[in-house]
Amino acid sequence: MSKLDGIYIFCDNKSYHEQWTKNWRKIKGVHTNIKDICNALKWGVKQLNQDSIAVSFIKVNEAMSSGDLNQLEPNYMYTQVFKEILLEMEHDRKQAIKILATYYHKFYHDNVSKLAIVDEFQHDYHPEKAIWWYTRESFTYEMLNRALRTLDADIIINMGFFICDLHQQIHQLYQQQLPSYCGKSFIVYRGQGLQKTDFGKLKNTEGGLMSFNNFLSTSNDKDVSLLFAESSSGNTDMVGILFIMTIDPQVSSTPFASIKEVSYYNTEEEILFSMHTVFRVGAINQIDNNDQLYQVELRLTMDDDEQLRQLTKWISNEIGGETGWKRLGKLLLQTGHFHKAEELYKVLLEQTSNESDKGLYYSNLGAVKYHQADYEQAIEYYEKALEIQENTLPENHSYLTISYNNIAGVYMDRREYSKALSFFEKALVVDEKILPENHPDLATCNNNIGLVYMNMGEYLKALPFFEKTCRIQQKTLPANHPSLATFYNNMGVVCLNMGEYPKALSFYEKVLEIQEKTLPENHHSLATSYNNMGSMYKYIGEYSKALLFYDKTRAIMEKTLPENHPSLTTCYNNIGTVYINMGEYSKALSFLERALEIQEKTLPVDHSDLATSYNNIGNVYDSMRECSKALSFYEKALEIQEKTLPENHHLLASSYNNIGAVYSNMREYSKALSFHEKALEIKQKAFPSNHPSLATSYNSIGSVYDKMGEYLKALSFYEKSTEIQEKTLPINRPSLGASYNNFGVLYSNMKEHSKALSYFERALDIWDHALPPNHPNLKSLKERIEIVKKKL
């Protein structure tokens, strides 16, 4: 029902149906006359189109600096770049119209009336009638506005010629009509509804800026505009807005025109603005004391903030390209429209005989395949590009470093770290010879090498490369540039793995602050950041927050990725591990098995991601005390890891620890100790002495000694574990509760029941706040407390 805007009833007993329909807010009217219901439907469609226009706000926050105040949202930024590219491109209008008509024939295949309009457009359209077709509110109006709102690249590109024609016709009329204004300001109106969340943003924007990212329809008729606002106010999810817009024709950066003479509806007093009209927000006042109906004063302005200008300039520079088509390809890559980018680059490849261009197109096709996780094809395209470049370019040319970095990136994702490191080092050698010391590409190279070491578990080696990256980027980039977000993310990962959780959280929050301002809401980088925040909260035991962020990740990935994409398996694994920690084992298995199903279809049998899934499923069975099943999955994981990881990698330590825990539960204590000690040996080499992962190993070893009756040895290891945890973890971390629980069990076994009760109660205090009320650990702990109390 959320996608249903309104229901209109046609009947022969109006008074009867009006009674029961009062309780259904989406029923907009009851009609007995066919003409009346048709008019109502037309009004409803127009109202919905009015309300659906894409807008952006500059958030007002008194704590923010004035530089941050004027910060437009990402939808504005990307549609602005689309507009710039499409306006500068040369369009084969005849071919474009044919392609557009074919597209809409498929889209409207079962709608005869729409198909007739499409056919009419194909045969009768010419640029001088762009406004006429737009105001007709046929497929041109509906689909263009929807595409600009949702950043649907397919439709934007297919309608690129129409966007150009519409803009040019508005601009021509603007220049013709400008003398008639005599330099005097005038007022136009617009009535529409805003979702309540958007209205909240608008209220916080008073004094700031607001942009309309589509073509903007306004009217000289205040009464008609007010009707639209009042109609929207009847929707409980929306607020009706009457915009009163003051226009100074001398300062407009966006052309506008009175279109009465060229409109489909030539009786309407309509002023049409081209895309991206920016206004200063003035007074916001209720109308007639109605809290769902407001009047908002706007003033047309050329204002834009310095940070946005810098950021848009950076993005435009990075898109670059000699022609509109090349720039468009890069924009499609940056906005995640990979299928459309692939189509475009293959066409360009067929049309060129220039070797340099071929190298560029192969490289960009490699990028497409990389983002689609087709790594074999990505390597093939990148190597073709590199072969052309090595044959045609000097040995220290910058294009070579791009190819080295691209190939290395694929090897990184395939976990072939030594190959990745080799290519990244080749890139760095060239860049250090040809670039100034603060060049952004040097930052990229250092960052990449840091990533290799990070993924190899060598965090101390990674750190200096990330710090070099930081020094360069902070000198050369705007404060909200996406590349800074990448750096902060990497630092967050390093801090997380080194057990410095507050620092990690701080870096991840910086990442999200940048990305939520600069990227579309379903961008894959946002999914990564939400995932990292989820992992952060999982590590510190705040499982409900972890699930919240992991679910945001899943929502983006399931919308934007193929159903068998490897990133989905990471997401499902992460959600599964949270449910393990919450004691919800059936939910955990459901997600973990979904991950494993995808991996077994798409990955080699010895891929390290399979080991992750085997370990996680083993954890579920271990928690359920199904030891033989747990051991089977743990051994599968270990077999892969011993083939693919360095001998001192921390993930090996985790597997040894897992197997040790199973043997402990099976009362095979000598085997358990052997595996736990292997794990500890690796961790002592890989981590600082106060890393929380060391505390896990000390706890595990202590637990084995406790079960063996060697209580003093157990006590020594428990004390080491707790000393680390109390220094490094939040006081409500579930693992700290587990340590206190272990102390309680130990003292209970030693017949020191008062000490046991003290530790059990400390554990209960943590777990009561950190774990779900039905968690099996809580139940067991409460039972132990009752037993100890009886012994006092």
What integer pLDDT is reported at residue 322 of this predicted model? 60
Same domain? 209 vs 188? yes
Q: Which residues 6+ apart lie within 8 Å of 724 measured at CB?
A: 690, 691, 692, 694, 695, 698
Same domain? 239 vs 269? yes
**C-alpha distances out from residue 560 to 7, 76, 147, 428, 592, Å:** 31, 21, 16, 33, 21
Which of 149, 174, 199 marks a domain boundary? Answer: 174
Find the farthest-apart pair of alpha carbons in the chain and give their distance in angstroms, rounded. 98
Which of 147, 174, 201 marks a domain boundary? Answer: 174
Question: E-strand spans in 206-289?
Answer: 209-212, 216-219, 238-247, 256-258, 270-273, 277-287
Residues 75 and 53: beta-carbon distance below 8 Å: no
Structure tokens at 494: 């390093």
Rg (CA), the chain: 31
Instruction: Taking the CA atoms of 188, 193, 195 and 197 in sequence, report the sign of the dihedral they define.
Output: positive
Distance, CA of 498 to CA of 689 (rounded, Å):
10
User: Domain for residue 652, yes or no?
Assistant: no
Same domain? 24 vs 86? no
Same domain? 752 vs 784? yes
Per-residue exposure over 412-438, b if at least 16 CB sit within 10 Å of its own CB, e if not: bebeebebbbebbebbbebbeeeeeee
User: Domain for residue 641, yes or no?
Assistant: no
**C-alpha distances out from residue 171 to 140, 263, 344, 382, Å:** 19, 15, 29, 43
Domain that holds residue 136: 72-174
Q: Dihedral, CA atoms, 50, 54, 59, 60, nearest 10 degrees?
A: -20
- In whole angstroms, what separates CA 508 from the centre of its chain? 13
270-273: strand order across its sheet: 55-57, 209-212, 277-287, 290-300, 238-247, 186-195, 216-219, 270-273, 256-258
User: Domain for residue 86, yes or no?
Assistant: yes
Distance, CA of 745 to CA of 394 (rounded, Å):
70
Same domain? 148 vs 233? no
Bridge partners for 280 per DSSP: 209, 299
Instruction: Taking the CA atoms of 91, 97, 102 and 103 in sequence, report the sign of the dihedral they define.
Output: positive
What integer pLDDT is reported at residue 65 of this predicted model? 34
Q: Chunked in runs of 10, what are the mean pLDDT values of the chain (792 residues)?
A: 71 79 76 82 69 68 33 61 79 87 88 90 93 87 82 79 94 93 92 88 83 90 90 80 92 85 86 88 91 91 56 60 72 79 84 87 94 92 95 90 92 89 94 90 90 85 89 84 83 81 88 87 88 88 92 93 87 95 93 94 88 94 93 95 86 93 94 95 86 89 92 92 82 79 88 89 85 80 88 82
Burial of 485 (0-12, 13-18, 19+ CB in 10 A): buried
Distance, CA of 713 to CA of 638 (rounded, Å):
28
User: Domain for residue 170, yes or no?
Assistant: yes
Q: Tokens 């597997």 appear where? A: 655
**C-alpha distances out from residue 549 to 467, 501, 536, 613, 746, Å:** 28, 17, 10, 20, 37
User: Domain for residue 17, yes or no?
Assistant: yes
CATH code (residue 301): 3.90.176.10
CATH code (residue 740): 1.25.40
**C-alpha distances out from residue 49 to 145, 158, 242, 402, 519, Å:** 8, 21, 16, 45, 25
What integer pLDDT is reported at residue 1 of this predicted model? 46
Structure tokens at 305: 């903030």
User: Domain for residue 2, yes or no?
Assistant: no
Tell me which residue of 519, 522, 517, 526 sits closest to 61, measured CA to CA. 517
User: Domain for residue 320, yes or no?
Assistant: no
What integer pLDDT is reported at residue 727 of this predicted model? 82
User: Domain for residue 411, yes or no?
Assistant: no
Same domain? 215 vs 285? yes
The pairing of strands 209-212 and 55-57 is antiparallel
Same domain? 304 vs 220? yes
Which of 310, 333, 356 marks a domain boundary? Answer: 310
- The separation between the first and the last C-alpha atoms of the chain, rounded to the nearest angstrom, is 61
Tally of structural domains, the chain: 4
Same domain? 188 vs 306? yes
Same domain? 39 vs 109? no
What integer pLDDT is reported at residue 704 of this predicted model? 93
Same domain? 148 vs 229? no
Residues 321 and 86: beta-carbon distance below 8 Å: no
Same domain? 140 vs 241? no
Tell me which residue of 654, 254, 685, 723 sits closest to 458, measured CA to CA. 685
Same domain? 93 vs 22? no
Tell me the DSSP string of 468-485: HHHHHHHHHS-TT-HHHH
